Amino acid sequence: MSSDFFKPAVTVDVLVLCWQPTPQILLIQRKNAPFAGAWALPGGFLDATEPLHEAARRELQEETGLNIPEVSFFGVYGEPARDPRGRTLTLAYLTLLEVAAPVSGQDDARDARWFTLKQLPELAFDHARIVRDGLKDLRCRLENRHPEPLQPKQAAERLKQLRDHLTEI
């Protein structure tokens, strides 16, 4: 393969949603530039030899302490100016928890915290778009009876909760 081809950086971002006590999203506060101090989805750069979904799980664990067995892919984001460090493509993943698990900021995250959909802070990069798209993707999965990563018995209840909160973001 020729080295003349452009090679953008590749990252992963993880949208973690929990249902109890109310729908909440897990965010990390960035420790480093760009956007030091800003809130963002957990995520980071892909290692050279790791599978994409494993990178998402690894970054989530490194930044929050949360060890999740499964993540579900929902989108790719690659606008040229999305990252001031240079051209970066990110693969977005979703995982769902029944209750908010304990988390803490680790590695390159200063803090990690659960936020209700009504109280999301301004987000770094294009993460607000990723959150909106991820929630819409989840809603489509529930409405079309493709509830992965939810269990079927949870789908109807979660769809109602999601519909109630989607208008708030």
pLDDT tens-digit series, residues 140-165:
877 776 555 554 456 566 666 666 66
Question: pTM of the predicted model, to two decimals?
Answer: 0.88
The CA–CA distances, whole Å, from 56 to 3, 73, 104, 109 equal 27, 10, 17, 15
pLDDT tens-digit series, residues 76-91:
999 999 999 999 999 9
d(CA 59, CA 112): 13
Indicate the length of the chain as a whole number: 169
Q: Provide the b/e sequence for 20-41 (b: ≥16 CB within 10 Å).
A: eeebbbbbbbbeeeebeebbbb
pLDDT tens-digit series, residues 29-86:
999 999 999 999 999 999 999 999 999 999 999 999 999 999 999 999 999 999 999 9
Written as one string, the DSSP assignment of 68-87 is -S--EEEEEE--TTS-TTS-
Q: What is residue 92's DSSP assignment?
A: E
d(CA 33, CA 37): 8
Span 9-166 CATH architecture: Alpha-Beta Complex (3.90)
